Structure 1
Amino acid sequence: MNKEKDQILFGGSRSWNAADWTASDDRVRGGKSQSFLECHSSTGRFHGNLDIKTLGGAGFASQRTTGEDRGWDLSDYAGIVLDIAEADGKLADKRYTFILKDELLPRNPDNGREQATISWEYDFKPCSGESSLEKGGLVFVPWSGLKPTYRGKEKEHADPINLETIKRMSIMMRSFFGDQEGPFSLTLRSITAVASSPVEPGRLERGDAASATNSTSRWSRYTQSFNLALSSWRICGLALLATALYYLHRNTSPAA
């Protein structure tokens, strides 16, 4: 990462501060998931428990930045880099979500709850297709990879994100429609706005590339096997048809 142009937002040379973050879990909807951010001078550990039984397969636990008057101008940057120290011990197959908001509305005067706005989300696996994160890893979140959602559903025809007025950042663990649940732990060294993509790709990008290559390779093998089997069946079918036609012709032909 370019040390002169990149902007460290949390961690790194700036100590993690618990006052910068607050929980935003599914308890506001009657769920039982719970998250925490355990701050140390060099790391911030996002951890907790994701419960999906209470809400029938749904559930989320997240930590978001505090303050409704905070703002970041990230328009001069290419994306965000999450510098990850460790994820879920040696089992790094869980998916997390990094979220940005460029708009916050006043709270609902009737119930005091925050009104919904568009969230810009990026799903990632801290370590995909590689060994554990004993030496750490980077996940690059490009602006083009963010998808707009509204109340948990993808928002079509949304206006582009306004990078000049980023109001909030969040890290979330969610069920992905019942795919994952239980304890989770993601330890971050820093969250940094970067002027260009890191020279060392994030583990997500390497993992996705490897996954895509493996998937393509598997599909090719499946296709080749299917075509080979189909060819064999065609040959057998043609042979059976030829035999049937021969005996049919023989039995219906007048005697010599």
Structure 2
Amino acid sequence: MATPVVVDSIRKAIAVGAPIYNAGDPGGCMNTYVHTALELVEKGAASEGERAALQDAVRRALEAGSKDEGAWIMRRSFDSILSGAVAAREAAARVAASVGPGGEFEVLNFEMGLPVAPRWRILDDVIMGGMSQSDGLTYDDAERAAVFSGRVTTDGGGGFASLRSDDWSGFTSLMAARGVRMMVQGDGRQYKLNAKTDGDYDGVQYQYDFTPPAGAWTQVELPFSGFKPTFRGRLVANRPPLQGQQIRQLGLMVSKFTSDGGVINNFRNGGFRLGIRYLRGFV
């Protein structure tokens, strides 16, 4: 989050500039915002990332094709700072610098139990008439791991069981990552890691298939460039590649379908079990 001085200055500028804009004077609004931004930069009240964001916004606003466009460039920059997005980018940059290329940092650790956040909810095929059933995210003391387990079946026309996290701010750290690594123990089945770029229940999600060996703990590496955009089991065309900074929800799934919409040849009805000790971002 931005410092109190920066937050107070920006809010005061918006309180003055917004009515000026609404009164039909976008130029006056833009000038108010530009003056505040330059003042914050010159006084050194803003962080390095905030100064860079404000200077860039001022440059683009002054070069904009209209005063209206310039006012909105400044306002979006202010909103980004107030929302904490700039601070999050700075934190992610510090993480990336601390671990170096190829290094990794912790996002979720289940070895000491289930963290309080994020929370996980069950999303099985019962929503479409299926009969699969997952047990939620449980904990195995002996294995020191979280467990995604249950029964998956195509009976009733379904064929998938899944979990999804809530919209969690802790995933912001993935802004610094090129992908994730997980320490998992499988059962021979193919699983998916799902990523959503919004907080909605339904909609497009990005998926990555992985098949860890049965009965052995192994680390799987899932680069964001390999995630595929899907909607209800089908590929979605013309979607940009997944980036860590977009991720707001993560999920696990076992399904009769691959992430590109194909059918898994050796899919079988019955129990499933995936152990997870940690999820880390890698740079």
**Letter of the 2:106 counterpart:** I
1 or 2, which has the higher helix percentage?
2
* Aligned residue number for residue 199 of structure 2: 104
For residues 88-141 of structure 1, the C-alpha deviation after alignment (integer angstroms, 9 at most, x for no partner) is: 2xxx2x111111111234xxxxxxxx3x322110011112xxxx543x111100
Which residue, out of 120, 123, 148, partners 2:206? 120
* Aligned residue number for residue 192 of structure 1: 280
Q: Which runs of 4+ in 1 moved over 3 A?
A: 2-5, 12-15, 67-71
TM-fit CA distance, 1:144: 1.4
* Aligned residue number for residue 82 of structure 1: 182
1:150 is the counterpart of 2:150: no
Q: Which structure ranks higher in relative contact order (CA pairs < 8 Å, sequence separation ≥ 6)?
A: 1
Structure 1 residues 103, 66: closer, same or farther in 2, change over 3 A?
closer
CA distance in 1, matches of 2:159, 2:170: 27
Which residue, out of 28, 35, 52, partners 2:154? 52
**Letter of the 1:62 counterpart:** S
For residues 149-171 of structure 1, the C-alpha deviation after alignment (integer angstroms, 9 at most, x for no partner) is: 12221011113324213110001
CA distance in 1, matches of 2:177, 2:211: 23
TM-fit CA distance, 1:82: 1.2
- Counterparts of 1:1-256 in structure 2, within 5 Å, are 4=99, 6-11=104-109, 15-17=113-115, 20-36=119-135, 37-40=137-140, 42-55=144-157, 58-67=158-167, 71-84=171-184, 86-88=185-187, 92=188, 94-105=189-200, 114=201, 116-127=202-213, 132-134=214-216, 136-176=217-257, 177=263, 179-195=267-283
User: Which range is displaced more, 138-147 or 13-22?
Assistant: 13-22
CA distance in 2, matches of 1:45, 1:63: 11
For residues 54-79 of structure 1, the C-alpha deviation after alignment (integer angstroms, 9 at most, x for no partner) is: 11xx4110111124777524232121
Structure 1 residues 23, 102: closer, same or farther in 2, change over 3 A?
same
TM-score when normalising by structure 2: 0.55
For residues 18-68 of structure 1, the C-alpha deviation after alignment (integer angstroms, 9 at most, x for no partner) is: 76211111111121111122124631011000021111xx41101111247
Structure of higher CA gyration radius: 1
Unaligned runs of 5+ in 2: 1-95, 258-262
Instruction: Give the fraction of aligned pairs with identical amino acids, expressed as a percent.
Output: 25
Structure 1 residues 183, 27: closer, same or farther in 2, change over 3 A?
same
CA distance in 1, matches of 2:236, 2:163: 22
**Letter of the 1:11 counterpart:** N
Count, aligned residues: 173
Structure 1 residues 171, 125: closer, same or farther in 2, change over 3 A?
same
TM-score when normalising by structure 1: 0.60
Unaligned runs of 5+ in 1: 106-113, 196-256
Secondary structure of the residue aligned to 2:203 is coil
